[in-house]
Amino acid sequence: MKAICIDEPGKVTIRDIEMPVRKKGEALLKVLYGGICGSDLGSYRGTFAYFSYPRIPGHEFAAEIVEIDENDQGLKPGMVVTCNPYFNCGHCYSCKRGLVNACMDNQTMGCQRDGAFCEYITMPLERIYDGKGLSPKVLAAIEPFCISYHGVQRAGIHPGDKVLVIGGGTIGVLAANAAKALGGEVYLCDIPQAKEKLERSQKTFGFAGTILNEGAESLEKAVREITGAQDINGTVSGYGFDVCIEAVGLPATFQACIDCAAFGGKVVLIGVGKKSLDFNFTLIQKKELNVFGSRNSKKKDFLELIDLVKEGRVDLEKIVTNVYDFKDAAQAFEDFSTRGGGMLKVGIDFTGI
């Protein structure tokens, strides 16, 4: 069968590999649709922390069940499904406490192990979720929505909270949608090079507003205008955002979240990066900030979001801005890397193989 492979930074090829052999407790799936994640893009660029070469990428996908044993989950051949791609060890300290998303030896498809960007894959039955009639394009976007949703849930957002999401990529936009669904007053922020993406997201999803981050001074001004109030002397001061969500993975954007958070506010780190940050950590103490890491997601996130999207509360199809045929995978990665300013979610259609 055919598979997409990242051989080294900047190089994507299509290889012929062996068909997978289904084991007991697994299903054979035919991949229908996949999404290029920010981590896949980072792997292509050589900047992603959890990756080794060569590797078949892909952990956002929808597939059709080809072969499966009788099971108590109601899964049958012909059903279109999505899957949980995070393989936890089951015996580490985190797993024993039920924190399977934070497994100390986690292996995510397309990162620490080969991913789903090939014609067929096998998956354990417990990781397969009924798509409930959603299209393959939409189902492939459930996994990144889960990443965002899990992080937003950690913040415990209340109706009326002012929420800043830094990062206008897929994860950031989905986090903004999740925060909005919980009643947050959401502002999406990114750099000038992503202005087109910000404008498109605002037009599509109708957030409270967007912020163009042209540097610390411009960001401070925006915070002052959005969250500020006049004191008795008429001076406008910014209280800061109740919740700041980092969805980029850069030191500067994490620092920006710390700076933009209100006293007693919350900061959630979803983005993944490789660089260190040297900063005055006393600011966390001074503001009494609550800082949360967010890693992967859980089964409950998948099940809840499939239902939420099925109910029409979020239109995930609008997230997908560009679709490439399987044979054009190398072009898809190159385009996303070099001119992705206007792209949100890039999909790969496997149905024509």
Length of the chain: 353
Q: Quick one: pLDDT band at residue 235, thresholds 50, 70, 90? A: low
Per-residue pLDDT tens over the stretch 185-224: 999 999 998 898 899 999 999 999 999 999 988 999 999 9
Handedness of CA 261, 293, 157, 346 (dihedral sign): positive
CA atoms of 226 and 158, how far apart (whole Å): 18
Tokens of 151: 């992080």
Would the pLDDT of 236 be above 60? Answer: no
| Predicted pLDDT at 8 | 94
> Mean pLDDT throughout 122-137?
97
Q: Determine if residue 230 is left, alpha or beta; phi over 0 gives left, psi from -120 to 50 gives alpha, anything else beta.
A: beta
> Is the pLDDT confidence value at 177 over 60?
yes
The percent of residues in the chain predicted with pLDDT above 90, rounded, is: 84
Higher pLDDT, 98 or 343: 98
Per DSSP, which regions of 94-160 are E strands?
107-108, 120-124, 128-130
Q: Are 15 and 25 in contact (CB under 8 A)?
A: no
pLDDT of residue 128: 98
CATH homologous superfamily, domain 2-140+315-349: Medium-chain alcohol dehydrogenases, catalytic domain (3.90.180.10)
Sign, CA dihedral 284-285-289-293, equals: positive
Q: Which two tokens stand for residue 338?
A: 């070099």
**pLDDT higher than 70, residue 231:** no
Give the chain's mean pLDDT.
93
pLDDT single digits (tens) 278-306: 989 999 999 999 999 999 999 999 999 99
What confidence tens digit (pLDDT) does each residue in 9-55 have?
999 999 999 999 999 999 999 999 999 998 899 899 988 777 789 99
Domain boundaries, the chain: 2-140+315-349, 147-293
Res 229: pLDDT: 62
Instruction: Flag whether pLDDT at 65 surpasses 80.
Output: yes
Query: Does pLDDT of 352 surpass 90?
Result: no
CATH number attached to the domain at 147-293: 3.40.50.720
- The pair of structure tokens assigned to 297 is 């997601």
- Among 28-32, 194-198, 229-233, 335-339, name the one with the lowest average pLDDT: 229-233
CA distance 328 to 331: 5
What's the whole-number mean pLDDT along residues 100-116? 95
What mean pLDDT comes out for the span 163-181? Answer: 95
Give the Å distances, CA to CA, from 58 to 33, 115, 139, 145, 171. Answer: 10, 5, 14, 15, 15
What is the number of alpha carbons within 13 Å of residue 216 lying toward its C-beta?
6
DSSP tag of 333: H
In the chain, % of residues over pLDDT 70 = 97
The 3-state DSSP class for residue 209 equals strand
Angle at 99 between CA 94 and CA 103, to 5 degrees: 50
**203: amino acid identity, one letter:** K
Looking at the predicted structure, is the pLDDT value of residue 232 above 80?
Answer: no
2-140+315-349 and 147-293 agree in CATH topology: no
Query: Which pLDDT value is given to residue 105?
Result: 95
DSSP 268: E
Residue 201: both structure tokens together: 């997201």
Sign for the pseudo-dihedral over CA of 292, 294, 298, 300: positive
pLDDT of res. 298: 96
Distance CA(313)–CA(351), nearest Å, equals 28
d(CA 245, CA 6): 30
Is residue 7 within 8 Å of residue 16, measured between CB atoms? no
CB 348 within 8 A of CB 33: yes
